[in-house]
Amino acid sequence: MLLKGKIRLPNTIVPRFPDRIKPPEKKKKEEEDDDHDEGREEEELRTFQVGGGGGGEERSEGEIWPDDGDENWTVLRAHHRIKIDIGREVSWDKRSDLEFELSQKVVNLEALRSIASCGHLAEEFRSIVWKLLLGYLPAEKDLWKGELAKNRLRYAELKRELLLNPSEFLIKEDETSNSSMPGQDNEAGGLLCRREISNGDHPLCLGNGSIWNQYFKDAEIVEQIDRDLHRTHQDIKFFSGDSSFSRKNLEAMRNILLLFAKLNPAIGYVQGMNEVLAPLYYVFRMNQEGEDASEAEADSFECFVQLLSGSVDHFCQQLDNSSVGIHSTLLHFSELLKANDGELWRHLDASKMNPQFYAFRWITLLLTQEFELSTIMRIWDYLLSNPSGVQEILLRVCCAMLLCVRHELLSGDFVSNLKLLQHYPEVDLEHVLDVASHLKTPISSYQPYGIV
């Protein structure tokens, strides 16, 4: 569960790939079509809304709605079920293949990777598939229940041990102490027992061993986490707004990030980790199939640690110039581009377009700040399905993103290209992933740190 010690995150010619930026006219027409589709979809969503009076809902089997009865959340949930994989419906044949693989006593992970990689992952199965691809669940289906129970119990124990404030901790300590000495009240003649308070128990104690001193230090981390969480996907009500549902979601994410920071003090919390956590928690919380929020929180924590372990050295400033640091990864990224499009590589190099100006964020945050959440989930289906690990295929996707806008980059200068790459345009995502899968590997043969 613990990661290595880290510190902080700063912010021959080959066939050319056609540009896939959508023309303005086409984008405008698609937006009009989307508006028309949304109007029609709203009619469908009404059948999912909360009924009046008795508070009953029409829901599909296994659905979970927010606790506060907010009708907007009912629509959100229904919308989540109707729109599958960025508006692309999964064919029934592929859906049957996925259901068949998940029904086997031993899941064929190779077949599962193929289904996820090709974009045939139905929304309601994404949670269980990600847990399998991340290694959180074993392939043997009979072991799932026990493995989940063990991991969730361990997470609950870590929370009780590390996330209690000192007052709660001392009260529980007193209760444990009293319960271990039966008859003490009778011996004291009914008088309340006095408790000795050590220096470490006092709120004004600043010693390194003081539980109160540690609590106040944690409060500073919590403040930073909260600032970042309140900026996470503000366009999605799951993460924003005043509903009890969104507040509980942010509280769960705060617990995960704080617990990670306390278990890995050499790394701590780094700005941007909230962005990496968001897709995991969203998928697990929205696909619970009867489980409560605490179980989604526990599963998200374990998978977050597993996902981050494959790129942990990118978060350590002291390792930036080492063979496993971010600068080495950016060098391999540059070599990959050079091997697949020498002309584009020379143009960017001549204009001093250092990959650190744009690809640093792409790589460290797993593209979570470059696309909308629905698109991110499709990209992660592809990344997690790679048997060689996330980092190796992530560099290929980043390189493909450059190749898909090569015409604009070749005709642009430093300023225009920097703006383009820091605000990546809307493209045909499936084409980007297809380009990534057909890139040739440079002779240096990059061996990424960590295999997910």
What integer pLDDT is reported at residue 328 of this predicted model?
84
Using CA atoms, how far apart are residues 26 and 418, in angstroms rounded to an integer?
25
Do residues 31 and 53 touch, judged by C-beta distance below 8 A? no
Tokens (6 digits) for 439: 């890139």
Using CA atoms, how far apart are residues 212 and 206, in angstroms rounded to an integer?
8
Tokens (6 digits) for 419: 């703006």
Q: At 43, is the secondary structure helix, strand, or coil?
A: helix
- What percent of the chain shows pLDDT beyond 70? 62
Nearest 5°: CA angle at 214, between 208 and 218? 145
- Amino acid occupying residue 444: S
What integer pLDDT is reported at residue 80 of this predicted model?
43
Using CA atoms, how far apart are residues 106 and 142, in angstroms rounded to an integer?
8
Give the pLDDT band of residue 218 (cuts 50, 70, 90): confident
371 vs 76, which has greater pLDDT? 371
What integer pLDDT is reported at residue 290 of this predicted model?
56
- Amino acid occupying residue 322: S
What integer pLDDT is reported at residue 293 of this predicted model?
77
If we measure between CA atoms, which residue out of 447, 436, 450, 433 comes closest to residue 307? 450
Q: Per-residue pLDDT for 407 more than 90?
A: yes
Enter the pTM of the model: 0.74
Using CA atoms, how far apart are residues 356 and 326, in angstroms rounded to an integer?
9
Average pLDDT over residues 32-59: 44
What integer pLDDT is reported at residue 69 of this predicted model?
46
What integer pLDDT is reported at residue 53 of this predicted model?
38
Digit-coded pLDDT (tens) for 385-399: 999 889 899 999 999
127 vs 325, which has greater pLDDT? 127
Q: Per-residue pLDDT for 384 more than 60?
A: yes
Q: Per-residue pLDDT for 354 more than 80?
A: yes
Contacts of 31 (CB under 8 A, 6+ apart): none
What integer pLDDT is reported at residue 323 of this predicted model?
53
| Dihedral sign, Cα of residue 76, residue 78, residue 79, residue 84 | positive
Hey, which residues does 140 pair with through a beta bridge?
A: 106
What integer pLDDT is reported at residue 14 of this predicted model?
41
What integer pLDDT is reported at residue 312 of this predicted model?
59
Give the pLDDT band of residue 205 (cuts 50, 70, 90): low
Give the pLDDT band of residue 2 (cuts 50, 70, 90): low
Hey, which residues does 50 pair with through a beta bridge?
A: 57
- Amino acid occupying residue 387: P
Q: Per-residue pLDDT for 147 more than 50?
A: yes
Q: Per-residue pLDDT for 86 more than 50?
A: no
What integer pLDDT is reported at residue 310 of this predicted model?
73
Do residues 167 and 202 touch, judged by C-beta distance below 8 A? no
Neighbouring CB atoms inside 10 A of 320's CB total 16
Using CA atoms, how far apart are residues 267 and 312, in angstroms rounded to an integer?
9
Give the pLDDT band of residue 85 (cuts 50, 70, 90): very low
Q: Per-residue pLDDT for 400 more than 60?
A: yes
Contacts of 402 (CB under 8 A, 6+ apart): 337, 341, 344, 348, 409, 421
Q: Per-residue pLDDT for 73 more than 90?
A: no
Average pLDDT over residues 158-168: 78
188-197, 296-305, 310-319, 409-418: which has the minimum mean pLDDT?
Answer: 188-197
Tokens (6 digits) for 382: 């592809």
Using CA atoms, how far apart are residues 260 and 266, in angstroms rounded to an integer?
11
Digit-coded pLDDT (tens) for 49-64: 333 333 444 444 433 4
What integer pLDDT is reported at residue 3 of this predicted model?
55
Digit-coded pLDDT (tens) for 229-288: 999 999 999 999 889 999 999 999 999 999 999 998 878 898 999 999 999 999 999 986
The alpha carbon torsion through 409, 410, 411, 416 (nearest 10 deg) reads 30
Do residues 285 and 114 touch, judged by C-beta distance below 8 A? no
Give the pLDDT band of residue 373 (cuts 50, 70, 90): very high
What integer pLDDT is reported at residue 332 of this predicted model?
92
Q: At 197, is the secondary structure helix, strand, or coil?
A: coil
Mean pLDDT of the chain, nearest integer: 76
83 vs 378, which has greater pLDDT? 378
What integer pLDDT is reported at residue 16 of this predicted model?
41
